[in-house]
Amino acid sequence: MLSSLFSPFQNKGGDEWVGSVATAAIAALFKTTESLNAKVRANPVSKILQGSLDGFDLVGRGLEMRNGLRVARMDLRVQAVAIDLSSLMGGKIKLRQPTSGTMSVVLTEKDLSRSFNTPFIVEKLQMLTFEGQPLNFRNTGVELQDGGILLLYSQISVGKESEPLDIRLQTKITLEEDRRILFSDSIIEGSERSQAVAQAILGHINSLMDLDKFKLDGVALRMHRCDIRRGQLTFDGSAKIRHFPGMGG
């Protein structure tokens, strides 16, 4: 067993080997990735043989999740990590104790527009109702503007009404208690009925956008900062990690 653990270090540095295994294991969690790289920090490198890391940095680009949602960039910097070295031999990262880290996630307006039209989000939106009638969304899009402004537009049919309403609203994104993402200071355009539907949608969305309701397997997320600049939305936050998604047990 000991010789098998040492063997990966013979042709490649131990930190590089652990980094390549971590990269492959995390890449398997996504449907597609444009680029993904985990860089291990261990000084001296021999600490890895005891399963001890000073931490690791994960940088990903063009990450598409299995539900169709896409992230333009994700940076994760994890602090001191104690890993089960034998689990790496099976291509998994198993923590021997919880750890924490900081993260930054970048979404483009193209990513957000695409996400709003994925079956995953469309099905959730169609669970919303207005005057007791289901809502049908189509051609939903997002624009991100300087000054922290998000512009959301969509065509929405109420129940069996054949004529869709053009919904267009301008809003800001704020954070509450580091876990709730809220649309605030909203300006809604359109007819009186369009405005009423949009206002109802905002209420539904604000009640749903609690990170604790979107629990990621083994990970607790908190968002500390949100920044919107033309074409891009950035969240900066922290993560407490009991185990990596899909690698518990």
Cα–Cα distance for residue pair 23/17, rounded to 1 Å? 10
pLDDT surpassing 60 at residue 119: yes
| Same domain? 122 vs 207 | yes
Overall number of domains in the chain: 2
Domain presence at residue 231: no
Residue-range definition of the domain harbouring residue 22 = 2-97
* 78 shares its domain with 117: no
On the question of pLDDT at 114 being above 80, the answer is yes
Q: Supply the Cα-derived Rg of the chain in whole angstroms.
A: 22
Q: Is residue 228 part of a domain?
A: no
The confidence score (pLDDT) of residue 11 equals 46
- On whether both 52 and 126 belong to a single domain, the answer is no
Residues of the chain with pLDDT > 90, as a percent, come to 38
- 93 and 138 belong to one structural domain: no
User: 91 and 7 share a domain?
Assistant: yes
Q: Are residues 126 and 204 in the same domain?
A: yes
pLDDT greater at residue 15 or residue 56: 56
Looking at every residue in the chain, the average pLDDT score rounds to 85
Mean pLDDT of 221-238: 92
Q: What pLDDT score was predicted for residue 43?
A: 83
The rounded distance, in Å, linking the Cα atoms of 62 and 243 is 23
Which of 49, 65, 97 is the last residue in one of the domains? 97
93: nearest Cα among 18, 180, 159, 167: 18
Q: Residue 212, exposed/middle/buried by CB under 10 A (0-12, 13-18, 19+)? A: exposed
Same domain for 154 and 65:
no
Same domain for 66 and 136, yes or no, is no
pLDDT at 249: 57
> For residue 248, is it within any domain?
no
| Same domain, residue pair 115 and 87 | no
Q: What is the pLDDT of residues 12-39, one digit of tens each?
A: 566 788 888 888 888 888 899 999 998 9
Asked, for residue 103, whether it belongs to a domain, the answer is no
On the question of pLDDT at 170 being above 90, the answer is yes
Prediction pTM value: 0.82
Would you state the structure tokens that stand for residue 185, as one six-digit string?
């200071």
pLDDT of amino acid 67: 83
Helix, strand, coil percentages, rounded to 5, for the chain: 30, 45, 25
Q: Which of 139-153, 176-190, 234-248 has the lowest mean pLDDT?
A: 234-248
Q: Is residue 104 part of a domain?
A: no
Residue 203: C-alpha distances to residues 5, 207, 249 (Å): 54, 6, 38
Q: Which of 64, 97, 130 is the last residue of a domain?
A: 97
Question: Does the residue 217 lie in any domain?
Answer: no
User: Does residue 36 lie within any of the structural domains?
Assistant: yes
pLDDT digits (tens, 9 = 90+) for 156-167: 999 887 789 999
SS3 (DSSP) at 158: strand
Q: What is the mean pLDDT of residues 99-128?
A: 88
Ramachandran sector of residue 242 (left: φ over 0; alpha: ψ -120 to 50; beta: rest): alpha
| Secondary structure of 116-153 as H, E, C letters | HCCHHHHHHHCCCEECCEEEEEEEEEEEEECCCEEEEE
Spatial distance between the Cα atoms of 150 and 170, rounded to a whole number of angstroms = 6
In this prediction, residues 75-81 reach a mean pLDDT of 90
Domain finish residue from 97, 125, 156: 97
- Classify residue 240: in a domain, yes or no: no
